[in-house]
A and B are shown apart, each in its own frame.
Chain A
Amino acid sequence: MSGPSTYEPNSAIERWLDTRLPIIRFSADLLGYPTPRNLNYWWTFGGILSFCLVVQIVTGIILAMHYDPSGAGAFISVEQHIMRDVNYGWMIRGLHATGASMFFVAVYLHILRGIYYGSFKAPREVLWLLGCVIYVLMMATAFMGYVLPWGQMSFWGAKVITNLLGAFPLVGKTITTLLWGGYSVDDPTLNRFFSLHYLLPFVIAAVVALHIWALHVPGNNNPTGVNVKSKTDTVAFHPYYTVKDAFAVGLFMILFAVFVFYLPDALGKVDNAIPANPLVTPAHIVPEWYLLPFYAILRAIPDKLMGVLALGGSIAMLFVLPWLDRSEVRSMRYRPTARIYFFIWIVSAMILGWCGSQEPDGQILHGVAGPVLIDYDINTVTWLSRVAAIYYFVYFLIITPLLGLRETPLPVPDSIYTPVLSHPAAPPLAAAAAPQAKA
């Protein structure tokens, strides 16, 4: 994948196979892949995410053997058949449902790591874009999977999300009908969502292969953001990072198991234990936690089409980030100003997540009535989400491009192995240090 191969076939059979299907060479080069020696635990989420994808595919294929994708049978096949009657069905379903949340925990940390250490910058833009594509595919897959148990939240979530596409002028209505296969969300919708929910994980796996390919061409970024300059900067992927990743996966499995075995319903909504009823919407409808920030952005805007565009735009920000951040320095370890705005951005996304879980007219400070601005009291969830959403966009569209031009970064080390060997507690603070060009 990257650079000339270092594999030497040692036996006659290896030499024979190597000229016919060089699969041993391919695997040997993958294991020997030179990796920066200073990767910290934030770099283990690639391995953790691969683990998550395998768990979801294996448990999902098993669940499909016991699931009935019909409006009349779906709820019973999940809540009664799988959860009570199928041997270990409760555990396999628990792994699959909790696994979705775990997958998103890992992918969010993986994305935040990429932003913090500038892993999206040249020459890794394609790697980053493929990652964004995987994230969008994950959201689509998770959404369709959530519909399958055909509870109240499943049904109404499906209705709200498919109606989002109806906001587009001219084509909106046609697209929604095409998705529904009827006048509304109904049996045909459930059937096609099941089919697509089974398909998309394999599409994700294919894009993951491209993501890894695109990783192996420029090689890993690292916490200093400095390019690999010599062999002293790298170690072989195996055994150094196979072992480190395996240890991290072990820790992650503990967290995973705590949810599966002790808190199986902590991440779900009680309304989904009620069979789907097309005539009654639950009093308080919310998506799963991992979609809440986007949901809050959608609700914050009092216009249907603009709300949908803002929701799409908030995800699109990730795609264009490599062209918004013009800073020469990759890692925020050497960008103290950028770091502050980045942490505020994380807080704004979390506030949006909290707002998404609340009623739109819920009060922030209980019992305090503020002035009404435009349509809502300023002491409401709606206005808090508006403020947080504005920061969310301002961070990407104004702060990030300006910082790249105006901030003064700290001095960047000459190479990866210099700070590893000298281990300074903090990089030396040089006043008005010029950003060092990366070779």
Chain B
Amino acid sequence: MAESLVQTAPDPGRRDFIYIVTAAAAVGGVAAVAWPLIDQMNPAADTLALASLEYDLSKVALGQEVTIAWRKQPVFIRHRTPKEIAAAVADDHASMKDPATDASRTKPGHEQWLILLASCTHLGCVPTFAQGEYGGWLCPCHGSIYDTSGRIRKGPAPKNLYLPDYTFLSDSKVKIG
């Protein structure tokens, strides 16, 4: 009796193998279905297709700033005065959270043009110019203060205002993106 039971009992190694294969197939199947369901949340192809933008700088007077939309994000184009540039250069070696020289934030020969993503690096609000103690921007949301080079000087933001990719097509025309 005992002998026949042993003979009919399933081989444990074979049973374990079936469990493992079934579980692996289930996990793989769920993962294969889950990925499309998650990835559909990422930007769609038509959203990503919003590429570059050309802007005529002659419309921006000395000391003026325009905010334009590039890929639905606000971008500052600031025509800086010599005083603003001097203040930014003078602070190049001051103590900063995210140290950068003013020259590294503009293109050579076009130091008067500061082109920045106008989103505070803290939580994405658009900072306002000519406020805060460094003569640059103040973010109205949580009080981050940037200088005339868009570098973070005070407040909760961790980084300087980001620079988009751009090239000067001529002295008065810039291509962003």
* Chain A residues packing against B (C-beta within 8 Å): 156, 159-160, 162-164, 177-184, 186, 188, 192, 278-285, 298-299, 301-305, 307, 359-361, 375, 382
Task: Choose one: B44, B67, B127, B128; the contact of A181 (CB below 8 Å).
Answer: B44
CB nearest neighbor in B for A159: B124
Task: Choose one: B72, B157, B158; the contact of A184 (CB below 8 Å).
Answer: B72
B155 at the interface (CB under 8 A from A): yes
Q: A390 to nearest B CB, angstroms?
A: 17
Taking each of B43, B67, B139, B142, which has the highest tally of chain A beta carbons within 10 Å of its own beta carbon? B142
Q: Cβ of B140 and Cβ of A282 under 8 Å apart? A: yes
CB nearest neighbor in A for B157: A304
Main secondary structure of the interface of B (DSSP, over half): loop
Task: Choose one: B38, B50, B74; the contact of A279 (CB below 8 Å).
Answer: B74
**Known interface pairs A156-B125, A283-B128, A304-B156. Does A360 touch B42 (Cβ–Cβ under 8 Å)?**
no
Q: Cβ of A177 and Cβ of B73 under 8 Å apart? A: no
Q: Cβ of A360 and Cβ of B124 under 8 Å apart? A: no
**Known interface pairs A178-B38, A278-B72, A280-B126. Does A183 touch B156 (Cβ–Cβ under 8 Å)?**
no
B96 at the interface (CB under 8 A from A): no
Q: Which residues of B have CB within 8 Å of A285?
A: 125, 140-141
B71 at the interface (CB under 8 A from A): yes
Q: Which residues of B have CB within 8 Å of A180?
A: 43
Q: Cβ of B71 and Cβ of A183 under 8 Å apart? A: yes
The 10 closest A-B pairs by CB, nearest first: A360-B143, A163-B123, A281-B125, A163-B124, A281-B126, A160-B123, A183-B71, A279-B74, A159-B124, A178-B41
Q: Which residues of B have CB within 8 Å of A281?
A: 125-128, 139-141
Q: Which residues of B have CB within 8 Å of A375?
A: 154-155
Can you list 9 contacts pairing A with B, beta carbon distance less than 8 Å? A159-B123, A163-B124, A181-B47, A278-B69, A278-B72, A299-B142, A303-B156, A304-B157, A360-B143
Q: Which residues of A have CB within 8 Å of B41?
A: 178-179, 181, 192
**What is the bound-complex CA distance between A192 and B38, given in angstroms?**
12
CB nearest neighbor in A for B66: A279
Q: Cβ of A303 and Cβ of B158 under 8 Å apart? A: yes
Q: Which residues of B have CB within 8 Å of A280?
A: 67, 126
Q: Which residues of B have CB within 8 Å of A301?
A: 156
CB nearest neighbor in A for B155: A302
**What is the bound-complex CA distance between A84 and B11, given in angstroms?**
75
Q: Which residues of A have CB within 8 Å of B107?
A: none
CB nearest neighbor in A for B47: A182
0 or 1 for each of B132-154: is its CB under 8 Å from A? (1 = yes): 00000001111100000000001
Q: Which residues of B have CB within 8 Å of A278?
A: 69, 72-74
CB neighbors of A among B50-81 (8 A): 50, 67-69, 71-74
Q: Which residues of A have CB within 8 Å of B143?
A: 299, 359-361, 382
CB nearest neighbor in A for B143: A360
**What is the bound-complex CA distance between A303 and B68, given in angstroms?**
29
Q: Which residues of A have CB within 8 Å of B140?
A: 281-285
Q: Which residues of A have CB within 8 Å of B69?
A: 278-279
CB nearest neighbor in B for A305: B158
Q: B81 to nearest A CB, angstroms?
A: 23
Q: Which residues of A have CB within 8 Å of B124?
A: 159-160, 162-163, 184
**What is the bound-complex CA distance between A338 and B157, given in angstroms?**
38
0 or 1 for each of B149-169: is its CB under 8 Å from A? (1 = yes): 000001111100000000000
Q: Which residues of B have CB within 8 Å of A179?
A: 41
Task: Choose one: B72, B141, B155; the contact of A160 (CB below 8 Å).
Answer: B141
